[in-house]
Amino acid sequence: MADSTKVYQPLPLHLDTNVEDEVESNLLITSVDQVLNWSRRSSLWPAMFGLACCAMEMIATATPRYDIARFGAEIFRASPRQADLLIVPGTVTWKMAPAVRRIWLQMPEPKWAIAMGGCATMGGPFAYAYSVTPGVNTLLPVDVYIPGCPPRPESLLTGLMLLQDKISEDTLGKKWQRRDVEPQFHRYLPDGDPIRKELESLWPPYTGYGHPYTGEAFKD
Ligand code: SF4
């Protein structure tokens, strides 16, 4: 038991203490930006989501052979609310476009997107097909594009590292702003098309299904 009558004195300062050495070995100085960026880039949680063949390569990236866990990105979340990275691996058809856009909207900020493979980048082998979007960048802002059909797991890891570099450059000074893309679906889908109607409800001002938005966003 501690003696309550004893007066504790601070330890005497040794005269041979080198203050500079002490500071160097005991103090860690950094900026809020660096800490935030380090934690964000080292704990990216991808949405558990795949569209076509490229998804197989994404799944392979999580296996022990490639081990995406080395980059802190192995926690694939089943709910978009718990994900901050949307890897779009595969062909984005118009039929799937509203679902892809909705998943993106449901993810909290800050969030990032990777277009994995030729299809997600520009339609891939199906470019110009009536049923395929000319790239997922028509639906959401893409941070990194990974070419290939399909890209190998090494390519996805390279894309992930590029995204980490991009996040490292971020700064609070820029004030994080919600990013979005201009809608383009009205150039590809005819008036009254049910998919077009659904997409219309997924851009600001988020009107209900079947209430076409005719504001500034629909410029040709
Ligand atoms: S880019 Fe090639 S491998 Fe990937 S989804 Fe398209 S067709 Fe399949």
39-58: pLDDT as tens digits: 999 999 999 999 999 999 99
147-200: pLDDT as tens digits: 999 999 999 999 999 999 999 988 877 666 678 999 999 899 998 899 999 998
Cα first-last separation, the chain: 81
Nearest-CA residue for atom 3 of ligand 1: 150
Do 139 and 213 fall into the same domain?
Answer: no
Do 70 and 140 fall into the same domain?
Answer: yes
Domain ranges, residue 188: 184-220
* pLDDT above 70 for 220: no
Report pLDDT for 70. Answer: 96
Do 170 and 198 fall into the same domain?
Answer: no
Distance of CA 57 from the midpoint of ligand 1 (Å): 10
Task: State phi, psi for 189 to the nearest 5 degrees.
Answer: -115, 135
Do 83 and 150 fall into the same domain?
Answer: yes
Q: Quote the percentage of the chain above a pLDDT of 70.
A: 87
Is the residue at 37 inside a domain? Answer: no
* pLDDT above 90 for 129: yes
* pLDDT above 70 for 77: yes
**Around Cβ 159, how many Cβ atoms within 10 Å?**
21
92-105: pLDDT as tens digits: 999 999 999 999 99
CA gyration radius, the chain? 24
Do 189 and 112 fall into the same domain?
Answer: no
Residues paired with residue 46 on neighbouring β-strands, in sequence order = 85
Do 173 and 196 fall into the same domain?
Answer: no
Do 135 and 64 fall into the same domain?
Answer: yes
Do 133 and 193 fall into the same domain?
Answer: no
Distance of CA 20 from the midpoint of ligand 1 (Å): 57
Q: In CATH, what number is assigned to the domain containing residue 173?
A: 3.40.50.12280
Number of compact structural domains in the chain: 2
Do 130 and 212 fall into the same domain?
Answer: no
Nearest-CA residue for atom 6 of ligand 1: 119
Is the residue at 24 inside a domain? Answer: no
Distance of CA 100 from the midpoint of ligand 1 (Å): 17
Return d(Cα 172, Cα 192) in angstroms, integer: 43
Distance of CA 149 from the midpoint of ligand 1 (Å): 5
Atom number in ligand 1 closest to CA 118: 1
Q: What is the largest CA-CA distance in the chain?
A: 88
Do 135 and 202 fall into the same domain?
Answer: no
Do 65 and 89 fall into the same domain?
Answer: yes
Do 167 and 68 fall into the same domain?
Answer: yes
Report pLDDT for 8. Answer: 73
CB 108 within 8 A of CB 117: no
Report pLDDT for 12. Answer: 67
* pLDDT above 80 for 7: no
Distance of CA 114 from the midpoint of ligand 1 (Å): 14
Task: Give the side-chain half-sphere CA count within 13 A for 71.
Answer: 22
For a mutational test of ligand 1's pocket, the pick from 54, 57, 116, i.e. the residue with the most ligand atoms closer than 8 A to its C-beta, is 54
- Region 79-87: what's the mean pLDDT? 97
Is the residue at 35 inside a domain? Answer: no
Selection from 142, 116, 138 nearest residue 53 by Cα: 116
